[in-house]
A and B are shown apart, each in its own frame.
Chain A
Amino acid sequence: NAGVTQTPKFQVLKTGQSMTLQCAQDMNHNSMYWYRQDPGMGLRLIYYSASEGTTDKGEVPNGYNVSRLNKREFSLRLESAAPSQTSVYFCASSEAVGGSHTQYFGPGTRLTVL
């Protein structure tokens, strides 16, 4: 099992460019998440998908869109990148065990917007 995989690992964009971050999980989890991590800010939730076919906003959704393509895949799109979106992006998945959602994270995508 690969767990949660993310592509690309690194990306440099110019302001205004667009890109899609890809995430896939092979654990058959229903729920998937996108977080961003910035120095001094900790992990913040961008969007989540509680199940295939549903997506909801998290704490910091502005400037992002998501697609839950199927149960395995959850992508994050930046339509017009801004320097404020320079961050490390983590995808995670979870399954309810005894009512709680322990999260399994991917290795991250390090994005720089110039």
Chain B
Amino acid sequence: SQKIEQNSEALNIQEGKTATLTCNYTNYSPAYLQWYRQDPGRGPVFLLLIRENEKEKRKERLKVTFDTTLKQSLFHITASQPADSATYLCALDGNSGGGADGLTFGKGTHLIIQP
């Protein structure tokens, strides 16, 4: 069966350091992989998308890598700040291509940036 795994435990990082979150998947051949941020009591917010033929994508302090051989994506936040504390969700479009029929989400990793 299709499965997405993210670090289930909270990740504690000191302010200013780089936070690295992992997303692993099995039995998928996604065309795209997306990362979302979710704050308590709110809906997820889109951050970054990376295509299967892209190795790396950057946006300001965020960087995403996508290794389709390892079936893994890494999400990095450089120069982390307490305001980056949130739950980060990895999402795949499944095998349909694009996600028109919805995305499959990981359970999320709770990131805590300590001052």
Q: Using a CB–CB distance below 8 Å, which chain A residues touch chain B?
A: 4, 31, 33, 35, 40-45, 48, 50, 56, 58-59, 90, 92, 94, 96, 99-108
Q: B residues touching A (Cβ–Cβ < 8 Å)?
A: 31-32, 34, 36, 41-46, 49, 51, 89, 91, 93, 97-108
Q: Is the CB of A48 within 8 A of B43?
A: no
Q: Is the CB of A96 within 8 A of B100?
A: yes
- Which secondary structure dominates chain B's binding surface? loop
* Listed A/B pairs (20) with beta-carbon separation below 8 Å: A31-B100, A40-B107, A41-B107, A42-B106, A43-B44, A45-B103, A45-B104, A48-B101, A58-B101, A92-B43, A94-B100, A96-B98, A96-B100, A99-B31, A99-B97, A100-B49, A100-B98, A101-B93, A103-B103, A107-B42
Q: Among the listed A96, A99, A100, A105, which residue makes an inter-chain contact with B44, where contact means beta carbons less than 8 Å apart?
A: A105
Q: Do A42 and B43 touch across chains, with their CB atoms under 8 A apart?
A: no
Cα(A106)–Cα(B8), bound, Å: 25
**B45 and A43 contacting across the interface, CB-CB below 8 Å:** no
Q: Which of A4, A58, A101, A104 contacts B99 (CB 8 A)?
A: A101
Chain A residue at minimum C-beta to C-beta distance from B103: A103
Q: Report the 10 A-B pairs with minimum CB-CB distance, sorted nearest first.
A: A105-B43, A101-B99, A42-B107, A45-B102, A43-B105, A100-B32, A48-B102, A102-B46, A99-B98, A42-B105
User: In the complex, how many angstroms separate the beta carbon of A53 from the nearest chain B beta carbon?
Assistant: 15
- Listed residue (A31, A33, A41, A102) with the most chain B CB atoms within 10 angstroms of its CB: A102
| Contact partners of B31 in chain A: CB under 8 A | 99-100
